[in-house]
Amino acid sequence: MFPKFFSSLTPRFSGDTMPTDNLVRIGMNSTVLIHEASMGDDEVEIARRKAHSTVSQAIAIGQKSAPTFGEYLICF
């Protein structure tokens, strides 16, 4: 049995995606947003073509959605 704390967590995972209003909405009222940011800020055009987010775009999504415990950026 998990402690009661874990049952109140609402993590959200974005996978590879470009910034969208839907992603902001999904991140709202979550405890943690895990967002894949596979492109550097100098690769905006590549990210757009591949429908991915740059690091700065991913951070902006986290700031707009404001998850309780923060946003974690990952890259596979």
This prediction's pTM: 0.83
One-letter amino acid for residue 61 of the chain: I
Residue 49 has what pLDDT? 95
Q: What is the dihedral of CA 54, 55, 56, 57, to 10 degrees?
A: 50
3-class secondary structure, 24: helix
Residue 14 has what pLDDT? 86
Only one residue has tokens 């309780």, namely 68
Give the pLDDT confidence of 8-61 residue by residue, as tens digits: 788 898 888 899 999 999 999 899 999 989 899 999 999 999 999 999 999 999
Query: What distance separates the 2 farthest-apart alpha carbons in the chain?
Result: 47
Size of the chain in residues: 76
Q: Where are the domains of the chain?
A: 4-74
Residue 6 has what pLDDT? 67
- Can you tell me the distance from the alpha carbon of 7 to that of 23, in angstroms, rounded to the nearest whole number? 23
